[in-house]
Structure 1
Amino acid sequence: MIKTLLDIINFSLILEFVAAVVATFSYIKIKKLKTQTFKFLSIYLWIVISVEVLGSYTFLICPYKFDELPFFINNPEWSKNYWLFNIYTAIAYMFYTWYFFKQLISSKKKSIVIYSMITFNIITIFDFIFGEIFFIGYSQLMNLFGLILIVMVLCMYYYEILTSDRILEITHKLPFYISVGVLLYFISVTPLFLSSQYIKSEEIVFTKYYRLILSYANYFLYGIIIFGIVKCYWFNKSQSTKFSSSPTLS
Structure 2
Amino acid sequence: MESSYLIHHYVELAAALAASLYWLKTKEYKVRPFVWFLWLTIIVETIGLYPLFMQNNYDNTLFIFVKNSVFCRNTWLYNIYSSIGLILIGLFFLRNLQDQTSKKIIKIILVVCTAFAIIYYLTSGQFFIMSLPYDNALQTFAIFIFVLLYFRELMGSEEILAFYKSHVFYISVALLIWNICLTPLFIFDGYYRAINTEFIAFRSTFLMISNILLYSCYVFAFLISLYYKGKLVPKKLH
Shift in Å at residue 221 of structure 1? 1.5
Shift in Å at residue 116 of structure 1? 1.5
Instruction: Tell me what 1:18 maps to.
Output: 14
Cα separation, 1, equivalents of 2:153 and 2:59: 52
Instruction: Tell me what 1:166 maps to.
Output: 159
Cα separation, 2, equivalents of 1:138 and 1:188: 20
Shift in Å at residue 237 of structure 1? 0.5
Under a length normalisation based on structure 1, what TM-score does the superposition of the two structures give?
0.82
CA contact (8 A) 2:167 2:222 kept: yes
Shift in Å at residue 191 of structure 1? 3.0
Shift in Å at residue 132 of structure 1? 4.3
Aligned pairs for 1:74-223 within 5 A: 74-75=68-69, 77-197=70-190, 199-223=192-216
Q: Which amino acid aligns with 2:6?
A: N
Is 1:70 aligned to residue 79 of structure 2? no
Aligned positions, number: 231
- Counting aligned pairs with the same residue, the percent is 24
Q: Structure 1 223/36 Cα, relative in aligned 2: closer, same or farther at 3 Å?
A: same
Cα separation, 2, equivalents of 1:194 and 1:235: 40
Unaligned runs of 5+ residues in structure 1 are 243-250
Cα separation, 1, equivalents of 2:80 and 2:59: 23
Q: Which amino acid aligns with 1:219?
A: I
Under a length normalisation based on structure 2, what TM-score does the superposition of the two structures give?
0.86
Instruction: Tell me what 1:248 maps to.
Output: none
Shift in Å at residue 78 of structure 1? 2.2
1:52 corresponds, among 35, 45, 55, to 45
Q: Structure 1 124/198 Cα, relative in aligned 2: closer, same or farther at 3 Å?
A: farther
Q: Which amino acid aligns with 1:83?
A: W
Instruction: Tell me what 2:30 maps to.
Output: 37
Unaligned runs of 5+ residues in structure 2 are none
CA contact (8 A) 1:27 1:34 kept: yes
Q: Structure 1 11/131 Cα, relative in aligned 2: closer, same or farther at 3 Å?
A: farther
Post-superposition CA distance 1:91-121 (Å, at most 9, x none)? 2222212211222221112112211211111
Post-superposition CA distance 1:124-152 (Å, at most 9, x none)? 11222233443333322433322211111
Q: Which amino acid aligns with 1:181?
A: A
SS at match of 1:104: coil
Moved over 4 A (4+): 6-9, 66-69
Please give the root-mean-square deviation of Cα atoms over the aligned residues, in Å. Answer: 2.6
